Amino acid sequence: MTSPPDHHTWPVQDRFLEMRSHWLTLIGEHLLDTQGQSLEYWRIEKADSAIVLPIQTDRILLPFPSYRPGIGQVTLDFPGGRVAEGQSPAQAAIATLQRELGIEATAIAQLTPLNQEGWPVNSSFSNQRLHGFVAQIKPEISLQTEYVAATYAIDRAGIQQLLQELNCLQCRLVLFEWQLSRME
């Protein structure tokens, strides 16, 4: 496999807009490309995300569906959330399990990262990275029914059913990466 050619970074000529909110920063800039052309680019800076695939024995656990303003629908997703400033992705994953499934840190037998650096979510538009985790929940832990909406078997039929109901691309990526890690 050959390495991609070494291209220099595109210098920023000017930043014509920076709008900050609690959730994101929107930035508009003019960049100078390798041919000397000035190009207008827009990007968003956001906190990284952590998505957790929670497994207890032979079942994948999912919280109740949530409303997603971006698509205007309620969707079924794995537990996930933002990595707060000063928080590690693993700490965010543990906090997410507690918030979305009522699972305390002491109930987690093992928390395994699927990636070390996080995957860029959209490298041309955003700096955000996705950190994927698999959480093995201790088998003796009783799940709280007010948190757990659905469980899916860890077999071909269960995964197929889950994929039919799971439309979040980031969640599907975490599931795919977990399946690949099981092949190793």
Buried b (16+ CB within 10 A) or exposed e, 159-180: beebeeebebebbebbbebbee
| Per-residue pLDDT reduced to its tens digit, 8-31 | 788 999 999 999 999 899 999 999
pTM value is 0.88
Write down all domains in the chain, each with its CATH number in brackets: 12-45 (no CATH), 49-183 (3.90.79.10)
Give per-residue pLDDT as tens, 122-181.
888 899 999 999 999 999 999 989 999 999 999 999 999 999 999 889 999 999 999 999
Q: Answer yes or no: are the C-beta atoms of 78 and 97 closer than 8 Å.
A: no
